[in-house]
Chain A
């Protein structure tokens, strides 16, 4: 360090830590970001693990990153480019498929192949999802109001929420309240009759979530994934050019341009607390770094249960942190391919293979996949979200070769049979590869390299507790003013000077950046500084 006194330390150079740091640095604070890995990005990374291939190792599509943040932090200027992809598909066990296309008429005719009624109900479904998104959107970049605080700010914010709810009219209030609590399967049943249509749309209700499509609360998770589409602008859903690490790289560049500093290979041992105040951190090698403000982008459990001594915290609070649901349920395969796999279920020339591909054709299959997870093993027939970004982004793989990203639901953090080991990991990877190979005869012969990541690996490498991609389940009991802990939903913590800025806080996970931006604004407000949007 140059010796100048730090104003704030941000723990973790994931996208939310970097977003928070950027906002603080732009407000004139001297900010240091500490990252335990030798690369920045957390779960938004691009790494080369096989020659000339770039993997989006963890997160793999960019839909939720708030455009307000991209604009405020000048991320396009710092190299970030989001490129849209067209549609997706679910391949069926009988050799058929359902594709999703951008063009409304193509999509209607496609869904009509399975059910004409569903093709036309799709418009009503989109309308209702969009209505809910429009209601929630203004809440994303705001501190959630605390209904119990009675502070003027919270009361104003609650009144505003109530006013907007009231303006929806009685029927939509009922819809909204039902939507936030019902299961994705029940929600989809209200619109569609065709199993394949329901299964396709149900996918996003379970991604990253230790719940099945029939579990209450999963309708909201489905909505959470739709949030990226609400801008109605080109590029709302897509790939970050250069992989998801491009998001972190542009944030790091933006931070440095505002005078902020990042130190990698600098994992913290603990947060220093003195007299009920966070005063700095101690690194693994014993180095002490002091600053009046500490922002933790680690999840709430890692922050309070592993980085702060329990005696410094209120007992009940520690208990609530322990009870916070943050369960590992997803795995990931990154695969280097010697060519483009053939999927006979998809007609040659159909653009749907350039989007998200799936092979789970009934909700029942998803629910059974969840049952395996509950039994402490990975799904024998997993739900996979498979993309080949190199078809669109030429920077991901050498010419003629392809990078495939395979997100896998469900995979437990702990196996009933014992701890994860190399053999178990390989068996998990083989299950996924076999699942894909069932739909692609040349797939196995194309594999040059595969990175297999279980929740246990993700926790170990990225630091997410149990490898939970959202830093905590997105269920109503852990959303808004309940996220992460009732009474501590506004980025502040029981310790003065310590703030949370990761996805454990409102509005939750996904490469959205909103928790980081909101936390930075809470800090600036407490400092009495001007807060800009």
Chain B
């Protein structure tokens, strides 16, 4: 399926269109597009609020195609990936997915992403940033081929409580038996689609992977069959709200890749990002291990935590203090929102030790715009466990038939 017109060369049209672009363009009421990894994608279709509540109440489609995808294949693939990422890849079975981070030699996070094991010696690594130079440099000495396949695969995130029901409407037999982080190929109505039970919303949801030529058929089928289940497309703004509630990190928002940082101290280790559970020191050598061992021994100086803040004004970019008088600055907020589902004013923040333990009480200076007059409020903030929102339905197998 081709788009309405031939794209112009890159120097006149730097952003690519995804295979779903024409459908998205038609449904976008606000013409609100933003660049994402070299593609133009929808920020808001109708209203952020309607799109957000569809994630928590019905089913939503989000165009994932721009996510950078690498095929990692060969007899040395598993050993290569085990050297690259901090988690133990040997434990990842075929048709399973794992969330991973990988670091530079200093133990600073280069990126996070999901690793799909598609076969005995074939993996797919989905990342936020393009980094073929790092992946190829790391491959030296391993019998493995790493190739970018972003343009060869179209992907949609289907997320929300009715998402499983929508897939059943498509005739994907047995899709309800798919467990979290499991993936399987399906064929129905002339459509070959790989379904993984993964997502960025913290809710029941799936990600659907097809060849670009099947993209429009997938979209149209989902929109038609899912109509009675309240399906609607969403943009990045609504997704961002769901991911904060789920406590997921956004690259370049909550941390900057060590491949990009200019300032000393701007790079973050997995321990600082609260991702220590992803680091397996027992599995053998991996890049950054020595630095991370040293950091574990010393203890991290700061850590990313969840905050619950008084009031209902999102503490966007707020500085954090140990006391109301704002004498000692101890951190800053990277993501913040009023959670419409939890009815809590939540945030992700980088906070200095020792203020990182749940229950710690800090102060956030929140700026309020009162009809163009800015006011500053010191609001109490408590360190709380993440995720902020984790409904049982995200894990239930089979999911409730709604």
Is there a chain A Cβ closer than 8 Å to B148's Cβ?
A: yes
The docked-state distance in angstroms from the alpha carbon of A61 to that of B269 is: 42
Q: Per a CB cutoff under 8 Å, which of A101, A116, A191 touches B132?
A: A116
Q: How far, in angstroms, from A117 to B14 measured CA to CA in the complex?
A: 19
* Closest B residue, CB atoms, query A168: B264
B residues in contact with A116, CB < 8 Å: 132, 148
Interchain CB contact under 8 A, A106 and B10: yes
- Name which residue of chain A comes closest to B106, CB basis: A171
Question: Which residues of A lie under 8 Å from residue B264 when comparing CB positions?
Answer: 167-169, 172
Of A101, A108, A168, A350, which contacts B38 at CB under 8 A? A108
A99: chain B residues within 8 A (beta carbon): 11
Partner of A106, one of B14, B131, B148, B263: B14
Query: Roughly how many angstroms separate A168 CA and B263 CA in the complex, as a whole number?
Result: 8
Interface contact B10-A110, CB-CB below 8 Å: yes
Residues of A within 8 A of B11 (CB): 99, 101, 106, 110, 347, 349-352
Q: Identify which of B35, B132, B259 contacts A117 (C-beta below 8 A).
A: B132
Residues of B within 8 A of A349 (CB): 9, 11-12
Which residues of B are found within 8 Å of A169, using beta-carbon distances? 264
Known contacts: A120-B130, A121-B133. The answer to whether A105 contacts B260 by CB under 8 A is no
Which residues of A lie under 8 Å from residue B106 when comparing CB positions?
Answer: 171
The answer for the CA separation of A99 and B133 in the assembled complex, in Å, is 20
B132 near A120 (CB under 8 angstroms)? yes
- Measured CB to CB, the nearest residue on chain A to B133 is A121
B135 CB, nearest partner CB in chain A, Å: 9
Q: Is B316 an interface residue (CB 8 A)?
A: no
Q: How distant is the Cα of A27 from the Cα of B262 in the complex, in angstroms?
A: 37
Question: Which residue on chain A has the smallest CB distance to residue B265?
Answer: A167
Per-residue interface assignment for chain B, residues 75 to 106, with 1 indicating a CB less than 8 Å from any chain A CB and 0 otherwise? 00000000000000000000000000000001
The interface stretch among A126-134, A139-147, A244-252, A489-497 is A126-134
Separation in Å of the A176 CB from the closest CB of chain B? 12
Complex interface: chain B residues within 8 A of A191 (CB) = 133
Also in contact, A127 and B262, with CB within 8 A (given A110-B11, A352-B11): yes
* B136 in the interface (beta carbon within 8 A): yes
How far does the alpha carbon of A123 sit from the alpha carbon of B262 in the complex, in Å? 11
Q: Are A131 and B133 in contact (CB under 8 A)?
A: no
Report the nearest B residue to A99, measured CB to CB: B11
Is the pair B9, A123 in contact by a Cβ cutoff of 8 Å? Answer: no
Contacts of B15 in A (CB 8 A): 105
B10 contact from A109, A120, A131, Cβ within 8 A = A109
Within 8 A of A (CB), among B119-163: 130-134, 136, 148
Residues of A within 8 A of B12 (CB): 349
Distance in Å: Cβ of A126 to nearest Cβ of chain B:
9
Distance from A179 Cβ to chain B, minimum over Cβ atoms (Å) = 15
- If A108-B38, A109-B38 touch, whether A134 touches B10 (CB-CB below 8 Å) is no
CA distance A532 to B31 in the complex (A): 50
B9 surroundings in chain A (CB, below 8 A): 347, 349-350
CA distance A351 to B38 in the complex (A): 19
Number of interface residues of B (CB under 8 A): 22
Residues of B within 8 Å of A444, CB to CB, are none
Q: Which of A117, A118, A121, A123 contacts B260 (CB 8 A)?
A: A123
A116 to chain B: closest residue by CB: B132
* B residues in contact with A351, CB < 8 Å: 11
Q: Cβ of A120 and Cβ of B133 under 8 Å apart?
A: yes
Per-position binary interface string of chain A over residues 159-176, scored 1 when its CB falls under 8 Å from any chain B CB and 0 otherwise = 000000001110110000
The yes or no answer to A124 lying at the interface (CB within 8 A) is yes
Q: How far is it, in angstroms, between the C-alpha of A477 and the C-alpha of B250 when the chains are bound?
A: 46
Known: A99-B11, A105-B15, A108-B38. A117 touches B136 (CB 8 A): yes
Interface string of B35-79 (1 = CB under 8 A from A): 100100000000000000000000000000000000000000000
- Give B252-277 as 1s and 0s: 1 = Cβ < 8 Å from A's Cβ atoms: 00000001111110000000000000
**A103 on the B face (CB < 8 A):** yes
Contact (Cβ within 8 A) A105 B10: yes
Q: Across the two chains, which residue of chain B brings its CB closest to A106?
A: B14
Residue among B130, B134, B136, B261 making CB contact with A108, cutoff 8 Å: B130
Contact between B133 and A117, CB atoms less than 8 A apart: yes
B263 to chain A, nearest CB (A): 7
In the complex, which residues of chain A have a beta carbon less than 8 angstroms from the beta carbon of B148? 116
C-alpha spacing A119/B259, complex, angstroms? 14
Chain A, 152-210, CB within 8 A of any chain B CB:
167-169, 171-172, 191
Q: Which residues of B contact A347 (CB under 8 A)?
A: 9, 11
Q: How far is the CA of A127 from the CA of B134 in the complex (A)?
A: 14
On whether the beta carbons of A127 and B14 are closer than 8 Å, the reply is no
Q: Which residues B172-207 have CB closer than 8 A to chain A? A: none
Query: Residue on A with the closest CB to B260?
Result: A127
In angstroms, Cα B12 to Cα A134, docked, is: 32
Shortest Cβ distance from A107 into chain B, in angstroms? 8
* Residues of chain A within 8 A of B10, CB atoms compared: 101, 105-106, 109-110
Quick one: closest B residue to A133, CB to CB?
B262
Q: Name A222-270 residues within 8 Å CB distance of B.
A: none
CB-nearest residue of chain A relative to B12?
A349
**Complex formed: what's the CA distance from A131 to B259 in Å?**
12
> A123 CB to closest chain B CB, in angstroms?
6
CB distance from A94 to the nearest CB of B (A): 19
Residue-wise, chain A 52-75 has the 8 Å CB interface mask toward B (1 for contact) of 000000000000000000000000
Enumerate A347-363 residues with CB–CB distance to B below 8 Å.
347, 349-352
A128 CB → nearest B CB, Å: 9
Say how far B372's CB is from chain A's closest CB, in angstroms. Answer: 26
A124, B133: Cβ atoms under 8 Å?
A: yes
- Whole-angstrom distance from the CB of A267 to the nearest CB of chain B? 46
State which residues 1-41 of B face A: CB under 8 Å: 9-12, 14-15, 35, 38
Given A109-B38, A117-B133, A120-B131, A103 contacting B14 (CB threshold 8 A): yes
Distance in angstroms between the alpha carbons of A120 and B148 in the assembled complex: 12
Output the nearest chain B residue to A169 by Cβ-Cβ distance.
B264
In the assembly, what is the distance between CA of A131 and CA of B267, in Å?
13
CB contacts (< 8 Å) of A108 on chain B: these are 38, 130
Residue of A nearest to B261 (CB): A127
Most chain B CB within 10 A, of A99, A120, A123, A347, is at: A120
A347 to B11, CA, bound (A): 10
Contact B38 A105 (CB under 8 A): yes
> Inside 8 A of B260's CB, which chain A residues have their CB?
123, 127
Q: Residues of A contacting B261 with CB < 8 Å? A: 127
Contact between A101 and B133, CB atoms less than 8 A apart: no
How many whole Å from B43's CB to the nearest CB in chain A? 17
Q: Once bound together, how far apart are the Cα atoms of A203 and B7, in whole Å? A: 33
Contacts of A171 in B (CB 8 A): 106
Tell me the bound Cα distance from A445 to B3 in angstroms.
Answer: 44
* Chain A residue at minimal CB-CB distance from B38: A105
Query: Would you mind naming 19 contact pairs between A and B with Cβ atoms under 8 Å apart?
Result: A103-B14, A104-B14, A106-B10, A108-B130, A109-B10, A116-B148, A117-B132, A117-B136, A120-B132, A124-B134, A124-B259, A130-B262, A134-B263, A169-B264, A172-B264, A191-B133, A347-B11, A350-B11, A352-B11
> 17 extra interchain contacts, Cβ-Cβ under 8 A, other than A171-B106, A349-B11, A351-B11?
A99-B11, A101-B11, A105-B15, A106-B10, A108-B130, A109-B10, A109-B14, A109-B38, A116-B132, A120-B131, A120-B132, A124-B259, A127-B259, A127-B260, A131-B262, A134-B262, A349-B9
The 4 closest A-B pairs by CB, nearest first: A106-B14, A109-B10, A121-B133, A105-B14
Chain A positions within 8 Å of B, measured between CB atoms, are 99, 101, 103-106, 108-110, 116-121, 123-124, 127, 130-131, 134, 167-169, 171-172, 191, 347, 349-352
